[in-house]
Amino acid sequence: MRVLEARLDELELPLVEPFETSFGVERRRRLLLLQLVGASGERGVGECVAARDPLYSAESVATARWLLSRYLIPDLLAHETPDPGAFLDRVRGLKGHPMAKATAEMALWDLYARERGEPLATALGGKRRRVEVGVSVGIQPSIEALVRRVGEYLDEGYRRVKLKVRPGWDAAPVGAVREEFPDLRIWVDANQAYPPSAGPAIVRWAVRLGVEQVEQPFAEREFGAHARLCRARRFRVCLDESIVDRASLEEAIRQRALSSLNVKPGRVGGLTSSRELQRITAAARIPAWVGGMLETGVGRAHAVALATLPNFVLPADLSASRRYYRTEIIDSPFELGPGSTLAVPRGPGIGVEIDEAALGRVRRRSQRFRPKHP
Ligand code: OSB
Ligand code: MG
């Protein structure tokens, strides 16, 4: 693949409603979108999941823009790239910044699959035609509002909810949802908000309320505390922020700190790394699933393709487009289908096309890049 042109857009999209987690509230999603034009005439697009502020992880829109414009895009324009792996090899010396690297790597994967005329899911080795999904529900202004929201999502067809929790917003709201919906699959996600000493209390309410999975209750490096929670064996303990690459996953497995893995391509540096982590979890008999970062249709399409791989056996955090945004920047928004699923697009690459008019309405900045010596 030879890249003749790159465009880096910064977008601002209002969420249909604020999304509150233990680390903050998101009202308007700021994000970067990278479009590549290949010598073949095909295009490739990648979405950067870093947010405006470095609250989920160290990266932000600003740091990702810097890495992309200063290093990654110039690298792509200066070299012939046979496949996404060749790009990863070249930028291996640049430390950190997995979300920025994933943006370029995912755009390359799209371009690569389009040049081969096959869907990204097929290029990755996936087989499923639909992927099962659930819905991640932010912290709400009141318990009544939460129960109402969950009811609306169930009416839309979702069959598994993930409730955001934090100290002070856990047993009571989760208990109210459980009381109203006795058979519902309930997961919770704390985004590292609890101290290790909270472990026994979490076990008590999670078991009493039939919580199926507890995601990242403790800090990123607290493998020991997560391992103690795993030993209760009454619900799955899922890691998200703790797992950033192969080494962290292997160490977590060695310490028995997880019984489920949330794989987000942005967090782990792209689709190649996501696929590798998926393989490692399969070998360790740990169920995995694809997480979400409030993506637009572009990042969602990449994530849906990833979710077709075999060990993604739990429902993904990839909901329908309308759960996030009123305006979608792709031509065919994702809709919830039978059995709480999203259809895997059948066209080449990510299988959806950018709606340039819609993109123009939410774009705040745009930068073009061309090769130095064409
Ligand atoms: O921890 O999974 C998380 C969104 C932003 C940052 C972190 C997380 C999330 C979600 C949203 O839970 C999942 C989705 O995109 O639907
Ligand atoms: Mg999470």
pLDDT digits (tens, 9 = 90+) for 320-340: 999 999 999 999 999 999 999
> DSSP string of 338-369?
TTTEEEPP-SSBTS--B-HHHHHHHEEEEEEE
136, 215, 300, best to mutate for ligand 1 pocket (most atoms within 8 Å of CB): 136
Nearest CA among 296, 293, 334, 287 for reference residue 315: 287
Tokens standing for residue 104? 């370029």
Ligand nearest to the CA of 238: 2
Q: Give the distance (Å) from ligand 1 centre to CA of residue 210.
A: 22
Q: Give the distance (Å) from ligand 2 centre to CA of residue 192.
A: 9
pLDDT of 39 over the 80 cut: yes
Nearest CA among 268, 287, 286, 285 for reference residue 276: 268
Domains of the chain: which residue ranges?
3-117+353-369, 123-343
Q: Which atom of ligand 1 is nearest to the CA of 294?
A: 15
Q: Is 294 in the pocket of ligand 1 (CB under 6 A)?
A: yes
| 186-211 mean pLDDT | 98
- Asked if residue 214 lies in contact with residue 237, where contact means CB atoms within 8 angstroms, the answer is yes
pLDDT of 284-316, one tens digit each? 999 999 999 999 999 999 999 999 999 999 999
Q: Is 187 in the pocket of ligand 1 (CB under 6 A)?
A: no
| 224-252 mean pLDDT | 97
Q: Is 56 in the pocket of ligand 1 (CB under 6 A)?
A: yes
| 122-135 mean pLDDT | 98
Cα 146–151–157 angle (5° rounding)? 130
Tokens standing for residue 110? 């799209």
> DSSP string of 25-65?
EEEEEEEEEEEEEETTS-EEEEEE---SSTTSSS--HHHHH
Q: What is the pLDDT of residue 52?
A: 97
Q: How confident is the model at residue 201 (pLDDT cuts 50, 70, 90)?
A: very high
pLDDT of 240-299, one tens digit each? 999 999 999 999 999 999 999 999 999 999 999 999 999 999 999 999 999 999 999 999
Q: How far is CA 368 from the centre of its chain?
A: 26
What is the pTM (predicted TM-score) of this model?
0.97
Contacts of 72 (CB under 8 A, 6+ apart): 91, 100, 101, 103, 104
Q: Which atom of ligand 1 is nearest to the CA of 135?
A: 16
Nearest CA among 103, 93, 29, 36 for reference residue 66: 103
| 133-162 mean pLDDT | 98
Tokens standing for residue 217? 């209750």
- Asked if residue 272 lies in contact with residue 105, where contact means CB atoms within 8 angstroms, the answer is yes
pLDDT of 37 over the 60 cut: yes
| 226-245 mean pLDDT | 96
For the chain, what percent of residues have pLDDT higher than 90?
A: 98
The sign one gets for the Cα dihedral 253, 254, 258, 262 is negative
pLDDT of 180 over the 70 cut: yes
Measured distance CA(87)–CA(290) in Å, rounded: 23
Surrounding residues of ion ligand 2, Cβ less than 5 A: 189, 215, 240
Q: Give the distance (Å) from ligand 1 centre to CA of residue 20.
A: 10
Give the residue, by CA position, lying nearest to ligand 1 atom 12: 136
- The SS3 call for residue 119 is strand
Q: Which atom of ligand 1 is nearest to the CA of 26?
A: 5
Measured distance CA(285)–CA(275) in Å, rounded: 15
293, 334, 342, best to mutate for ligand 1 pocket (most atoms within 8 Å of CB): 293
| 159-177 mean pLDDT | 98
pLDDT of 51-103, one tens digit each? 999 999 999 999 999 999 999 999 999 999 999 999 999 999 999 999 999 99
Q: Is 9 in the pocket of ligand 1 (CB under 6 A)?
A: no
123-343 belongs to which homologous superfamily? Answer: Enolase-like C-terminal domain (3.20.20.120)
Q: What amino acid positions are annotated as catalytic residues? A: 164, 264
Q: Give the distance (Å) from ligand 1 centre to CA of residue 333.
A: 19
Q: What is the pLDDT of residue 30?
A: 97
Measured distance CA(133)–CA(357) in Å, rounded: 29
Q: Give the distance (Å) from ligand 2 centre to CA of residue 117.
A: 34
Q: What is the pLDDT of residue 339?
A: 97
Tokens standing for residue 2? 């030879």
Q: What is the mean pLDDT of the chain?
A: 97
CATH topology of domain 3-117+353-369: Enolase-like; domain 1 (3.30.390)
Burial of 64 (0-12, 13-18, 19+ CB in 10 A): buried
**What are the CA-CA distances from residue 135 to residues 158, 202, 337, 347, 356 (Å)?**
7, 22, 14, 26, 28
Tokens standing for residue 152? 């609306």
Give the residue, by CA position, lying nearest to ligand 1 atom 14: 292
| 194-218 mean pLDDT | 98
- The SS3 call for residue 263 is strand
Q: What is the pLDDT of residue 372?
A: 87
Q: What is the pLDDT of residue 374?
A: 56
Q: How many helices (H) and strands (E) does the chain have?
A: 13, 13
Contacts of 187 (CB under 8 A, 6+ apart): 134, 160, 161, 162, 163, 211, 212, 213, 214, 215, 238
Contacts of 43 (CB under 8 A, 6+ apart): 35, 36, 37, 110, 111, 114
- Asked if residue 237 lies in contact with residue 203, where contact means CB atoms within 8 angstroms, the answer is no
Q: What is the pLDDT of residue 285?
A: 98
Q: Is 292 in the pocket of ligand 1 (CB under 6 A)?
A: yes
